[in-house]
Structure 1
Amino acid sequence: MTETPIATPAAPSGRPSVMTGFPPPPEARATLANWRQPPFSAWSFTHTREIVPSAEIPAGTPRPLEEDWTDLSRVPVPDGAGGEIPFAGLLAATQSSACVVLQGGRLLWEWHGPGHDGLAPHLLFSVSKSITGLVAGQLADRGLLDPSAPLTALIPELAGSAYEGATLRHLLDMTVSTAFDESYLNADGDYAAYRISTNWNPAPDPAAAPDLRGFLTTLKPGTEPHGAAFHYVSPNSDLLGWVIERASGQRFADLMGALLWGPIGAEAPAYITVDRFGAPRTAGGICARPRDLARLGEAVRRRGVVGGRQVLPGWWLDDMATAGDRAAWARGDLRELFPAGRYRSKWYQTGLPSGALACLGIHGQWLWIDPEAEVVIAKCAHQDEPACDATDARLIAGLDALCNALA
């Protein structure tokens, strides 16, 4: 009997598709060294736990979404060059993996890019920060966290670091003064060392590699006083995860499942990447189904009410949507993203007439909540570049236009 070889599927370039074959050929393997780079990222952003260690975030009883299907693929939105493009065309042009649109809590439309079905948890990158902010709000509501508390009182190990003299509110609002440089593409700077500590990059010397919590205690202070300006620093949100675990006495993954993922009726468990000692990457390591991200957005839109039950503290969400230091934002490093906006408790106030709130992560992750149109949009992507101001502006205009059309 003669065996007939089965060909390995080829990508459009003629090279084998990523992670196909048994084993995949070397040039098609996603590794810790290449997993956030194209062409590997389209695969690894929905298989992150196969690259980086993770902890599961449990779900409870799924709460089905009511459906009211409407084809939104041809809704015209700005194309970024003075013309218009169909909304589905904007998603494809920005290398989107999935998009879920809810209106009034009903599932209106769902779109998937090639190779994606929405069932695999997708890496949310910095949308994780906003989710972590909601978990902090749950603890504040229970009296376990006080936003005015000094960080060194919560985590004494921070004494002498950039966080000396800062409060939890400074941490929540990204107004900690630190010299940390958030340069995603710098292979030798602060961010590269940070990624090694989170287990996201290979360590040149594994025996000497820093862990995440140890790395946080080494950050150096900036020149301005705390609270003076918005300064986007991802390690701040990992520190918030440490604060949450220390205050609650529980692992973040278990706590998020109990206080957030279960109560919103998520349809599937999520997960979060961890360092070599199990510290969670609460700044960017949460992976979840796009529909569950939309469920979370709907809970926020409804001021924390799910199925007639208050599952998120309404006062925290009100503060998140209306408070914040506009002057600190105006002096900050992302002011051009939302010129009339603010930042509060890890969420962006867009400053648009609709009063929209937003969460965003590099490589094209978005959660958009438009209270005027009663619309929630969850979008995941695998954009080649970590950040692009022009692409962000194009997506902001497109998401706002879609909501305006639905309003």
Structure 2
Amino acid sequence: MLEEDYPEASLANWRTHPFNVRGFHNVDRLIATQPIECAPSTVPLPRGRILDLAAVMVDGSSASSGLQQSHTDGFMVLHHGAVVVEQYGPTATASSRHIIFSVSKSVTGTLAGVLVDRGELDPDAPVSRYVPEIIGSAYGDATVRNLLDMTVSVRFVEDYLDPLGDVARYRVAMDWNPPGAFPYQGGLHYFLATLPRDDGPHGERFQYVSPNSDLLGWVLENAGGLPIAEMLSRYLWQPMGAESSGFITVDRNGAARTAGGICVTLSDLARFGDMMRLDGKANGRQVIPKAWVEDIMTSGDPEAWQKGDMTHLLPEARYRSKWYIPTDHPGTFCAIGIHGQWIYVDKDAGVTAVKFSSQPLPVDEGLDRSTLAMFRAIANALR
């Protein structure tokens, strides 16, 4: 299909296929945003020998076929920092700033490490030290580490397709949906402070709850004394040499959607992922504390993961500071967002791969598994 064959999106349908094909890289036309400014001068990513994806086989099909089947809007692979694959869908270009959904969580968790290194954030401190407004909610006796590792005992059902569920009410609060089944009652921060405690202690079970990551963003703003967009620019985007400014969605009160609202170009997301591959270095400069990246790679509770709700995708894994670490594939880690957004890093193979997608379903286990298998096949081809 050509670009003109895809319909324009509105606030009411922008996450619904086929409207999402345009909607995912035109979010700033639909929702309020704040800019993540890029560096004043940058160097383009170097180019390497092009990898022929038609020759990379995954379960009897080529990787190029897999990209088409998974509604890919943008795909880039770096090998030892050089671009060996760069492709775009019918409505996207190299300058398109695509929403990365929950890959935003991994960016936010990485920013947390910078604030820890600056002495502005204690990951073992109670959340209420930084955000007293949440006392009385599920988060009243949780720690920042519980937010980082998704081990808060909170009652929230992450069902993206239930029009009357927790996520539907959440989306009205963040101004991602027009009021409909739920009237607007307050913004994102108001919503976070209403979430009730679940049974069981904090820290024992991985439970994927997106509001944890929005609250983490609120914590970081109060700890660092700056808006999230400015900190992302100052501490990550500019020092890593981002070529383009990104942006993050905010509600009508200016609360940033750090759980899923970051929008960036494909090449800058690849830069960010490759910086993680290099233990936090970019352009010869230590941008992210090496100790924070090492902690992500070596820490996280495998028992908490096994008690959680994502073993169907990663049977053996850990989750640390908003990153997934598949323990059955040493040296790899990834960030995952709904509708098919990915960062995949294989340190041993020197590979960083990023993917923008407009998959029809928010969560498609079959496509997730095949995409993960494709990343691994590409890494093996380049090893």
CA deviation profile, 1:63-100 (whole Å, cap 9, x unmatched)? 32111131322132324xxxx21111110010001101
Give the corresponding residue for 2:231. 255
Question: What is the SS of the residue equivalent to 1:63?
Answer: coil
Number of residue pairs aligned between Structure 1 and Structure 2: 382
Alignment of 1:221-240 (within 5 A): 221-240=197-216
Q: TM-score under structure 1 normalisation?
A: 0.91
Match of 2:56 among 41, 65, 76: 76
Secondary structure, aligned partner of 2:142 = coil
Q: Secondary structure at 1:401's aligned position in 2? A: helix
Aligned ranges 1:238-277 → 2 under 5 Å: 238-277=214-253
> Which residue among 145, 162, 177 is the counterpart of 1:201?
177
CA drift at 1:206: 9.7
Residue of structure 2 equivalent to 1:92: 68
Partners of 1:231 and 1:269 in 2: how far apart? 32
Select 2:45's aligned residue among 61, 65, 71: 65
SS of 1:108's equivalent in the other structure is strand
Which residue of 178, 184, 190 maps to 1:214? 190
* Matched residue, 2:283: 307
Q: Distance in 2 between matches of 1:193 and 1:225?
A: 26
- Asked if 2 retains the 8 angstrom alpha-carbon contact of 1:72 and 1:87, the reply is no
Secondary structure class of the residue paired with 1:164: helix
- Give 1:233-382 correspondences, 5 Å limit: 233-382=209-358
d(CA) in 1 for partners of 2:296 and 2:351? 18
For residues 153-179 of structure 1, the C-alpha deviation after alignment (integer angstroms, 9 at most, x for no partner) is 221111110112110000000000011
Q: Distance in 2 between matches of 1:232 and 1:396?
A: 19
Residue 114 of structure 1 corresponds to: 90
Unpaired stretches in structure 2, ≥5 consecutive residues:
none
**Is residue 74–residue 266 contact of structure 2 (8 Å, CA) maintained in 1?**
yes
In the alignment, residue 34 of structure 2 is paired with which amino acid? Answer: A
Stretches of structure 1 lacking an aligned partner (at least 5 in a row): 1-10, 19-27
Q: Equivalent residue of 1:98, what SS? A: strand
Instruction: After superposition, give the CA deviation of every residue in 1:347-378 in whole Å (9 maximum; x if it has no partner).
Output: 00022334211001000000000001000001
Q: How many Å separate the matches in 2 of 1:387 and 1:122?
A: 18
Q: Which amino acid aligns with 1:67?
A: R
**Distance of 1:155 and 1:318 partners within structure 2:** 28
Distance 2:179 2:220 in 1: 27
Counterpart amino acid of residue 335 in structure 1? T
Deviations 1:243-295 (A, max 9, x none): 01011111100110000000111110000000010111000000000110000
Q: What letter matches 1:118 in structure 2? A: A
Query: What's the C-alpha RMSD, in Å, of the aligned pairs?
Result: 1.6
Query: CA 1:206 to 1:275, structure 2 compared with 1: closer, same or farther past 3 Å?
Result: farther
Counterparts of 1:34-183 in structure 2 under 5 Å?
34-60=13-39, 61-79=41-59, 84-183=60-159
Map of 1:24 onto structure 2: none
Between the aligned partners of 2:311 and 2:200, the Cα distance in structure 1 is 18
The one-letter amino acid of 1:69's match is R
Q: CA deviation at 1:208?
A: 4.2
Look up the SS of the partner of 2:203 in the other structure.
coil
Q: Once superposed, which parts of structure 1, at least 4 consecutive aligned residues long, lie more than 6 Å away? A: none
| Whole-angstrom distance in 1 between the partners of 2:342 and 2:107 | 12
TM-score w.r.t. structure 2 length? 0.97
C-alpha distance in 2 between matches for 1:321 and 1:52: 35
CA contact (8 A) 2:33 2:249 kept: yes
Give how far 1:116 is off.
1.9
Percent identity for Structure 1 against Structure 2: 43
CA contact (8 A) 1:203 1:209 kept: no
